[in-house]
Structure 1
């Protein structure tokens, strides 16, 4: 039942590649002529930026709230399963101690009940894992959507042509100039947007 950790790490992909070429179509002719005679400016270089997904998962309040809720649910399901498992083990131990003094009918009935209990435990573990896994997928999909929708609007407003994701733990990008890092402004904006949508806690 370690799916939570794996899916939590899956949020590394929350910063999507966003292409914003609307302005490029308008200025295509002018840009091609100018590019032949001038060197790239800082503004042009900054058309490609990145978001640090490690920082995003650590500081984005919405993501942290979802992770905390899922971890609490996982721990509760785990505690319930362990409690029922311990009760089952006690019944098995009791049967092992008293089995020889039982009649054949009592032994058969007890063994059949223990088999049913074991099956119930297996189904309980399987169902809990599937339920939590589905909820994780749904909740983190909402987080992913919130991030990508914001980044798309942000990229259009700023004129970015590409927004990359960067992570030290899973480096698809081997080097990124810190001047291209927009992580802080993205996290600040996302947290403000989430706070505006969330009822204040008193």
Structure 2
């Protein structure tokens, strides 16, 4: 008997990253600043953000991915041990079947098939659990970045900030309009500052 176990935990992490990039790329396709209180400018100020690069370099996004990768590995250890025991039992079954007779082989074979099915279900359940747990944090992160770019655009007098990346809405733009690095630096500075603030609050407790 063979057990083909796919690493659903790693797939969940990969899917999380892809989903995150796609959400951000689509959400930031066009960010228009229509604040009536904003000062009028003679020329329309526009820029674009490479959302793929942004999510690769945004520390909070990397921390989120690392967090769920670690959880996947931790929660998968016990399951991996059960899988290894199953593989050993399945290997022993091949050598014991002839010696113990057909009736024993049929009974034991049915038990092993049931275990194989249960392990498959357990892996799927673990992958779904990780996806559900990460989903809320992913949505919150995306919403936070969207709000940050919108506020950044208003503060710096942009009429439009376009998004480019996996779901590109800008087919061509001059490099001088690329503010990706500016956004990454601003987001990371804000995230680092919030982390320091949280650590100080924990130290006071």
Q: TM-score, normalised by structure 2?
A: 0.75
**Which residue of structure 2 lines up, in the alignment, with residue 145 of structure 1?**
143
Distance 2:44 2:159 in 1: 10
Question: Shift in Å at residue 103 of structure 1?
Answer: 6.4
Question: Shift in Å at residue 88 of structure 1?
Answer: 0.6
* Range that drifts further, 183-192 or 78-87: 78-87
Matched, 1:23 2:32: no
Secondary structure, counterpart of 1:63 in structure 2: helix
Q: 1:18 to 1:96 in 2, by over 3 A?
A: same
Question: Shift in Å at residue 26 of structure 1?
Answer: 8.8
Q: 1:176 to 1:12 in 2, by over 3 A?
A: farther
Which aligned pairs between 1:166-185 and structure 2 lie closer than 5 A? 166-167=164-165, 171-185=168-182
Aligned residues: 186
Matched, 1:195 2:184: no
Distance 2:20 2:101 in 1: 58
From 113, 118, 121, the equivalent of 1:120 is 118
Secondary structure, counterpart of 1:18 in structure 2: strand
Secondary structure, counterpart of 1:125 in structure 2: helix
**Which residue of structure 2 lines up, in the alignment, with residue 36 of structure 1?**
none
* Range that drifts further, 87-96 or 191-200: 191-200
Query: Cα deviations across residues 120-175 of structure 1 (Å, max 9, x unaligned)?
Result: 201111101211222333222122111011112112222323221122x5543221
| The structure with more radius of gyration | 1
Question: Shift in Å at residue 191 of structure 1?
Answer: 1.2
User: Residues 38 and 157 of structure 2 are in contact (CA less than 8 Å); yes or no, is this contact kept in structure 1?
Assistant: no
Question: Shift in Å at residue 61 of structure 1?
Answer: 0.8
Distance 1:98 1:11 in 2: 50
Which residues of structure 2 form unaligned runs of 5+? 1-7
Which residues of structure 1 form unaligned runs of 5+? 32-40
Query: Cα deviations across residues 21-62 of structure 1 (Å, max 9, x unaligned)?
Result: 1238996xxx9xxxxxxxxx5xx232x221121321222110
Query: Cα deviations across residues 91-137 of structure 1 (Å, max 9, x unaligned)?
Result: 11212222333367654553343233112201111101211222333
Which aligned pairs between 1:1-202 and structure 2 lie closer than 5 A? 1=8, 2-13=11-22, 14=24, 16=28, 17-23=30-36, 41=42, 44-46=43-45, 48-77=46-75, 79-102=77-100, 106-107=104-105, 109-167=107-165, 171-198=168-195, 199-200=198-199
Q: TM-score, normalised by structure 1?
A: 0.75
